[in-house]
Amino acid sequence: MGKMFESTPKYRKGLIGEEIIRDFLEFHGCTVSRPKDTAPSGSSRVDFVLNAPKKFSLWKGTELVEVKVMTTMGYSYGRFPVYNFPINLIEDYRRYAAEKNLHLNFFVVDEEREQIFWRDIDELEIPLRVEERTFPVDVEHKSGIFHYYHVKQFVPVGRPNFADLERLRSINLSHVDKKILRPLKDDDELSDEEIISESRDAVKNFLDLTLPDDLPTSDEKIPLFVDAMRSSLRRIPTYRFREIYHAVRNLNAADAMPVFAEKFYALLDTVKRERQRASYQTPYIFKPKTSAKKFAELHAPDDTTVEIFALEGDESKLFAEMFHLAEAFGCDTRGLIHSDFGNAVKATSRFYTLNFGSTDKKISAVPVKDVPAILRDYAFNRTDYAEKFCAAKKFSSWWKNAVTTL
């Protein structure tokens, strides 16, 4: 690979994207390596080979990984957000995966949406109807035919670290240094002056800090100054960190506080990782010796039925079936034990496998008495999304009333 290409913004963004996905997969308990047929220059047909826990994971055993740093483009007069891939490239990936007899996973790092998206290459071909269009769509360009995948065909699996987002954004593909201000909430349409005012208010509200007035006069004092903010951040739910990040980023664009901003983004990432860290090894699962029987059913506000079980001969020990409990407040149930919900269980309770009567039926469950603590941990520590935080809080209020009927 030529030195000139390696210096291009696209290539440098790609390297950062690979680092983001390697870090993401390792944080989720996978081991990541380069393919054995990687050339001495470092080039390879796909970016990584991952080895994942064989149970309770989105990925099973050994699989291939290809990383793309992309933002969506608008298809059909901008109505549909899509990622586009040359069809000959997709076919090349398919041939390589078939040769290796391994699944190939696409990971897309989208700095604009601030998301990490994932999908198995075969699952991307499952037709998805969006309004009157069915995706993927093949579109002919001068350079060839391209596959257009709708963003909804990918699964959001996480967010890049704030410091990594800044690394990506520091590389301008257009070679124009644009200081773009962003509203703190996705649906706001504000002027630049309103965004700055909103950002100052947010920093004051969350951190009791006026920027840049309260900063130390010497850059050498900033690391200690930033570290002192840990106590304030520990009182704030994780989902608000993105809002705080944008507030500080907007103020940095307006008033140039690069040393403070860099240290602060790193602190946000550190606090977030500390509270979200969990073991991705297979957890110990308790298996009571006595069988379970259905004790009751709770009908959640979204019409999900959560079954309640009791151990034979001990109706004081009640358990909630785990899958539908998580589903009832909108939690992602893929790879449930290693999901945000599963990690909240690890932090506050235990997993149980119950035998159902004399049958071979097995039930994954958590103690009813622990559900409020699980929900608190999930809402405050685990989720990055405001809508999921609100759903968990709302469900928690409903749950407290519902269990009084048991």
Mean pLDDT for 32-41 is 84
Mean pLDDT in residue range 153-178:
83
- Whether 292 shows a pLDDT value over 80: the answer reads yes
Q: Which residue is it, tokens 């800044």?
A: 166
The residues with which 354 forms a beta bridge, in sequence order, are: 363
How confident is the model over 371-395, as a mean pLDDT? 95
pLDDT at 56: 53
In the predicted model, what is the mean pLDDT of residues 194-216?
A: 95
Q: How far apart are CA 118 and CA 308, in angstroms?
A: 34
- For 48, left (φ over 0), alpha (ψ -120 to 50), or beta? beta
pLDDT in the model for residue 283:
82
What is the mean predicted confidence (pLDDT) over 253-278?
94
pLDDT at 177: 52
> Pairing state of beta strands 285-286 and 351-355?
parallel
**Is 379 in contact with 391 (CB distance < 8 Å)?**
no
- pLDDT category, 29, cuts 50, 70, 90? confident
* Residue 257 confidence (pLDDT): 94
pLDDT of residue 284: 85
pLDDT band at 388 (very low <50, low <70, confident <90, very high): very high
Q: Which of 73-87, 212-226, 302-316 has the lowest mean pLDDT?
A: 302-316
Q: What is the mean pLDDT of the chain?
A: 90
The predicted-structure confidence for 76-110, as pLDDT tens digits, reads as follows 999 999 999 999 999 999 999 999 999 999 999 99
Mean pLDDT of 209-231: 95
Q: What is the pLDDT of residue 55?
A: 61
Residues whose CB is less than 8 angstroms from the CB of residue 204 and which lie 6 or more positions away in sequence, other chains included:
210
CB 116 within 8 A of CB 21: yes
- 3 has a pLDDT exceeding 70: no
The Cα–Cα gap between 11 and 20 comes to 14
Residue 282 reports pLDDT greater than 80: no
Residue 54, pLDDT above cutoff 70: no
One-character DSSP codes across 228-282: TTHHHHTTS-GGGHHHHHHHHHHHHHHH--HHHHHHHHHHHHHHHHHHH----SP
Higher-pLDDT residue of 361, 24: 24
Sequence-distant contacts of 38-44: CB under 8 A, at least 24 apart:
41/1, 42/1, 43/1
What's the Cα-to-Cα distance from 137 to each of 71, 92, 340, rounded to whole Å? 17, 18, 33
Residue 144 has pLDDT above 60, yes or no: yes
In the chain, the percentage of residues whose pLDDT exceeds 70 is 93
Residue 90 confidence (pLDDT):
95
* Chain-centroid distance, C-alpha 345: 18
Q: Which of 140-149, 180-189, 203-212 has the lowest mean pLDDT?
A: 180-189
Mean pLDDT, residues 246-263:
95
Could you tell me if 232 and 203 are in contact, meaning their C-beta atoms sit under 8 angstroms apart? no
pLDDT in tens, 123-134: 999 999 999 999
